[in-house]
Amino acid sequence: MGCCSSSGGWCMKVVLGQLTPGRAETPAVLADEAPVVTAGHPNDPQPVEVRGADVSMGTWQSPDRSSILGVRRLKKPAAPFTSLPVQEEITTTKYSNLSLESHNISVTAAPYTSLPVQEEMMTKYSNLSLESHSISMTENSNMPVEKNITLERPSNVELTCQFTSGDLNSVNVTWKKGDTLLEDNYLVNATGSILYTQYRVAVIDSKQMGSYSCFFGKKKQQKGTFNLKVPEVNGKTKPLITYMGDSVVLMCKCQDCLPLNWTWYGGNGSVQVPIGVPVNDKHVISRKHANETSLKITQLSEDDQGTYWCHAIFELGESEGHVELVVLSYLVPLKAFCAIVAEVVLLVTIILLFEMYTQKKKKPSDDGKEFEQGEELKLDDSNGIENSGPRHRKNESMGQ
């Protein structure tokens, strides 16, 4: 498919075609000063001729917006080369009622092995990691689809929405951040009955965080939402019970994250007051592991009761957790303890009195016919048959 122009540089017949789903765009690569590029739809008898120098980076869409192509620049090769081996990858994919071919040409040159092919990324932040997330929806899904994405450090984020429908003709694709309509930075692509749209954003500070939504459809809009958030921080759900004069350690931690810094706030109600900032003895903030923070409070008093917030500071924003502290005085359990002990002493007294009463009752009628256990016993055997002396004494001593 390559052709040579008269100037000796390389030119390519760029065929506008669909991008193979699932592969990153296979952009046509232009030599830096290729004189001519022909680009066009295969069915279009008049392909568009674009001068090489005019071809700018970015995305190209065919006039009817049916196909797109990404364009990147090659670093200019040092000398014309005419007989370099060309590797071609030919892929054939279906596009509605047309078949297209998209070609991927990569150039390797023996004399230029020392010249690495560098690509300029479309975005400025090539040193950032790339995160890809995708959600898929069908025409008839009633509930809006959401995906939560946790971001800790600045990165390039690629959000893909996939929409399945029988009829893709009347489908409008829009992206919104919050309520603001997004104009650019997104691609639309279609394969068979699946429509793909992809939005790329470089997230470098908290302004880019938020909710991004893709909308499909004219009449009945289907919505998919990506929520970009900073990692969550966990404090304690149950309140911490402590006593006056004790010291306590409040801890906050987040699962797999490394915050830049932690700060603590305390307060009653909704007012948050920073804690530990003028470094003092009462509040000591320490950080044993990177993903956790602890606040040690000594000499607790009733004033220390309330909610404490821990804030984890990331490049992309802040996240907070809270711990509730309750300070009791020792009297509280002591009262309950004394009540129970008093009840026990009462029971013991009652039993002692009962036993003394039954003993007194038996004292006058001490004729050997009654048993110690009281009146209600069943008398299984007859009384006083073998009432002989020596055995009697032995049994008395045994019975104690």
Partner 1 sequence: MLKRKVQPYKKTLDGGWGWMVIFHFFLVNVFVMGMTKTFAIFFVVFQEEFEGTSEQTGWIGSIMSSLRFFAGPLVAVICDLTGEKTASSLGAFLVAGGYLISSWATSIPFLCVTMGFLPGLGSAFLYQVAAVVTTKYFKKRLALSTAIARSGMGLTFLLAPFTKVLIDLYDWTGALILLGAITLHLVPSSMLLRPTHTKSKSSSDIKDESSLSPSGPEAACRTETSCCNEIQELAIRDSITQKEGQPGITETVSQIISGWVADQNWIKKYHYHMSYLILCGITNLLAPLATTFPLLMTYTISFAVFSGGYLALILPVLVDLSGNSTVHSFLGLASFFAGMAVLSGPPLAGWLYDYTQTYTGSFYFSGACYLLSSVSLFFVPLAERRKNSLTTKKEDCSQVRA
Q: Give residues in contact with partner 1 (CB under 8 A).
A: 238, 241-243, 328, 332-334, 336-337, 340-341, 344, 347-348, 350-352, 355, 359, 362-363, 366, 368, 370-374, 376-381, 383-387, 391-392, 394-396, 398-400
Rounded CA-CA distance 61/302 in Å is 69
Q: How far is the CB of 238 from partner 1 (least distance, A)?
A: 7
Query: Nearer Cβ to partner 1, position 274 or 368?
Result: 368
Least CB distance to partner 1 at residue 322 (A): 18
Phi, psi (rounded to 5 degrees) for 207: -70, -25
The set of residues, in sequence order, having a beta carbon less than 8 Å from that of 321 and lying 6+ positions away, is 232, 233, 234, 235, 252, 254, 309, 310, 312
Find out whether 186 and 197 touch, Cβ atoms under 8 Å. yes
Tokens of 109: 């040159």
Closest distance to partner 1 from the beta carbon of 295 (Å)? 17
Nearest approach, Cβ of residue 376 and partner 1 (Å): 6
Helix count and strand count (H, E) for the chain:
2, 26
206 vs 242, beta carbon nearer partner 1: 242
Straight-line distance from the first to the last Cα atom of the chain, in angstroms, rounded to the nearest whole number = 115
Taking the least distance from each CB to partner 1, the nearer of 94 and 394 is 394
The structure tokens listed for 58 are 């970015």
Q: Which is nearer to partner 1, 46 or 387 (CB)?
A: 387
Cα of 322 vs its chain's centroid, Å: 18
Closest approach, Cβ 257 to partner 1, in A, equals 23
Buried/exposed code over 274-306 (b: 16+ C-beta within 10 A; e: otherwise): ebbeeeeeebebeeeeebbbbbebeebeeebee
CB of 142 to partner 1, least distance (A): 36
Q: How far is the CB of 328 from partner 1 (least distance, A)?
A: 7
CA distances from residue 193 to 179, 200, 319 in whole angstroms, order as listed: 28, 23, 41
Residue 371's alpha-carbon distances to 14, 116, 140, 352, 359, in angstroms, are 117, 111, 88, 18, 11
Partners of residue 227 on adjacent β-strands:
148, 211
Q: How far is the CB of 310 from partner 1 (least distance, A)?
A: 19
What's the rounded Cα separation, in Å, for the pair 278 and 268?
20
Whichever of 108 and 383 has its CB closer to partner 1, that residue is: 383
Nearer to partner 1, 113 or 373 (CB): 373
Q: How far is the CB of 307 from partner 1 (least distance, A)?
A: 17
Q: Which is nearer to partner 1, 116 or 364 (CB)?
A: 364
Nearer Cβ to partner 1, position 207 or 238?
A: 238
Nearest alpha-carbon partner for 247 in 295, 307, 300: 300
Q: How far apart are CA 119 and CA 24, in angstroms?
A: 14
Strands 130-138 and 155-164: parallel
Q: With respect to partner 1, which residue has the nearer C-beta, 3 or 332?
A: 332
Please, what is the minimum distance in Å from the beta carbon of residue 258 to partner 1? 24
Residue closer to partner 1, measured from CB, 58 or 333: 333
- Within 16-91, residue ranges assigned H as helices are none
